[in-house]
Structure 1
Amino acid sequence: MTTAPDAVGSLVWARRRDSFARFWRAYRVRRAGLCGLLALAAIALVALTAPLTVGGDIQSVTRAPGGALEPPSARFPLGTDQFGRPLLGLLVWGARVSLAVGLLAAALSVAIGALAGILAGHYGGVLATVLMRITDWFLVMPALVLAIVLATVMAHSVWTVVLAIGVTSWPTTARLVRAQTIAVESRPYVERARALGGGHRHVMSRHVLPNVLPLVLAQTTLGISNAILTEATLAFLGLGDPTVVSWGGMLQDAREAGAVSSGHWWYLAPPGIAIALVALSFTLCGRAVEAVLDPRLGVR
């Protein structure tokens, strides 16, 4: 016999499956968002299978199979870098770092922004004033400049880049989540929950958080493209981890090798196109998610 907790759990999961099915039906009619999702799925598959397809030795400069700066050929479809390493393999391997940094940095940024926004919107008063003034300070300061400062004073590593991007790009999320929290807490069912004895934790976790999660999801999707672009910028400026291959690091290596002045376009074009493609794909997905969660935006 099914117990009451089991029945409640089954009902909750059934509602979640139904919500996801409705979301997917609304999402798949948006062709731009679907194209972005398919492109991201293909890039993610290539990145995940990189150890099998290109191997870890692709990063070694002592076992490079080609000559320096060879143009594209049948053996090396995208040419080689200044060390003789095939650029196609480096591009595939670099996708792992660029995507990982973008995802982790966006997740950190949205987590900080969501926490600050929910706390400010729920408690109000002095806490909200302090949090919003800190948010305003970060908003008026150029995020890229702050990220460069953090990446400069800290050790050059992937985690430093993630931290630098995450702690400088959360204010917009905080503002949006705070406004949504205030709107949610003004609804009758939240007032009823408080009247029945629901405390701060209950209201924030059971009523506020589920209602702001769609907004957080949309912000995360849109923030990943900005995080990837910022990571590429930091790596291009020489502030990334020099021991790993990323698309921004490839652009930095191309600049140091004089690819711009010497006309070695095959060294510059692939990582630049890859960065633009991934950023565009995440942006298309984010806009589609926004349109699904907010029907007022219409079908795109």
Structure 2
Amino acid sequence: MEKQKWKRYWNVISSNNLGLLGISLLVIFLLIALLAPLLAPFDPTARVGAPFSKPNGDFLLGTNDIGQDILSELLYGTRVSLLIGILAALISIILGCLVGIVSGYYGGKVDSFLMRLVDLVLVIPFLPLMILLAAFIGPSFWNIILVISLLSWASPARVIRSQVLTLKTKGYVEAARSIGTSIKVILFRHILPGVIPIALSQFVMAASHSILIEASLSFLGLGDPFTKSWGTILYYAQARGAFLTDAWIWWVLPPGLLITTLVIGFAFTGYSLEEILNPRLRKER
């Protein structure tokens, strides 16, 4: 039965061109992140050429203002941007699951309190709060992940709560309650399996948003200055005059395109997962 379910899921994905494209893009970026030391022609922190060298046979994407190879920076930056996006999304989804499950299952005053907290997080202007938290906590790799997680859990919590409200009225859950099954067993054996598919879809979309947020914070100078993400590459390009010369073509354009492509990969994958979870979205084939 389980094998047939996963086979059905794969049939839905394989018949969805956008889903296949999204998964392919994510696999490519994951391979780049894992193989960055082998693919990068130079150490991204080393000065290997003349400043503002144009793309040539030695430096395929030229060099920055201090002579570092931009291609090597981008390859290593894939690791940082992807890792921040995945970790921040994972933490936010875990928080969202905890809040959504507790709120949806217990209801009453617990539900009212947690949902008012969710409303508070969602109603506060996102960009000013994000900048304020990042500036207050300080720029570092883990602080960026913390800021993104604190601002991204509320929306998944609301979606997961809705799923829990539906699941707890199912016959098998009510039967488990009636025979005195412990809450722990009900949550982990009956509620959580029904939440995981929704959480997976929310995780993919949260990773996409996290990568955009990290790039935005880094571009504003609030990222970790000791790590080379795509956002910090854009920040240094803007701060050191890339837009005043032709250097923007090989210093600004490539990281911008990489961010856009990775976000598209996550978005297309998320859409295919939503099609799996919601049969009404599937086209007649």
Smaller-chain TM-score bracket:
over 0.9
Out of 239, 254, 259, the residue aligned to residue 270 of structure 1 is: 254
**Which residue does 1:295 correspond to in 2?**
279
Shift in Å, 1:16:
4.0
Aligned counterpart for 2:91 among listed residues 94, 101, 108: 108
SS at match of 1:69: coil
Match of 1:39 in 2: 25
SS at match of 2:54: coil
Contact 2:104–2:111 (CA<8 Å) still a contact in 1? yes
Instruction: Provide the rounded CA distance (Å) in 2 between the counterparts of 1:285 and 1:128.
Output: 31
| Cα distance in 2, alignment partners of residues 281 and 29 from structure 1 | 17
Counting only pairs closer than 5 Å after superposition, residues 164-183 of structure 1 correspond to structure 2 as 164-183=147-166
Amino acid at match of 1:158: F
Q: C-alpha separation between the residues in 1 aligned to 2:189 and 2:268?
A: 31
CA contact (8 A) 1:291 1:299 kept: no
CA distance in 2, matches of 1:70, 1:95: 22
**Residue 148 (1) aligns with residue 131 (2):** yes
Measure, in 2, the Cα distance between the counterparts of 1:142 and 1:209: 32
* 1:230-241 superposed matches below 5 A: 230-241=213-224
Runs of 4+ in structure 1 over 3 Å off: 15-18
Pair 1:206-2:206 in alignment: no
TM (norm. structure 1) is 0.91
Residue 260 of structure 1 and its aligned partner are, at CA, apart by: 1.3
Give 1:263 shift: 3.1
Displacement after TM superposition at 1:166 (Å): 0.6
Deviation sequence 1:233-272 (CA, Å, 0-9, x none): 0111111110110000000010011111223221100000
Superposed counterparts of 1:1-300, under 5 Å: 15-54=1-40, 58-60=43-45, 63-264=46-247, 265-299=249-283
Aligned length: 283
Q: Deviations over 1:138-174 (max 9, x none)?
A: 0101233322222111132111010100110111111
Return the offset for 1:25. Answer: 1.9
Partner letter of residue 70 of structure 2?
L
Whether contact under 8 Å (2:201, 2:270) holds in the other structure is yes
The letter for the 2-side match of 1:282 is: F
CA positional deviation for 1:205? 1.0
TM-aligned CA deviation for residue 106 of structure 1: 0.6
**In structure 1, what residue type is equivalent to 2:8?**
R
SS at match of 1:58: coil
Q: Which amino acid counterpart does residue 7 of structure 2 have in structure 1?
A: A
Q: Runs of 5+ in structure 2 lacking a partner?
A: none
Segment of structure 1 superposing worse, 281-290 or 137-146: 137-146
For 2:128 and 2:195, the matched residues in 1 are separated by: 30
Calculate the TM-score normalised by the size of structure 2.
Answer: 0.95
Residue 37 of structure 1, CA deviation: 0.7
Query: Residues 44 and 70 of structure 2 are in contact (CA less than 8 Å); yes or no, is this contact kept in structure 1?
Result: no
1:69-122 CA distance string (max 9 Å, x none): 111112111111111111111110000000000000111111111110110000
Structure 2 distance, partners of 1:34, 1:153, is 41
Task: Provide the C-alpha distance between the structure 1 equivalents of 2:74 and 2:283, rounded to a whole number of angstroms.
Answer: 35
What RMSD over aligned residues (CA atoms) do the two structures have, in Å? 1.4
In structure 2, give the amino acid aligned to 1:272.
G
Q: Shift in Å at residue 59 of structure 1?
A: 2.9
Identity %: 38
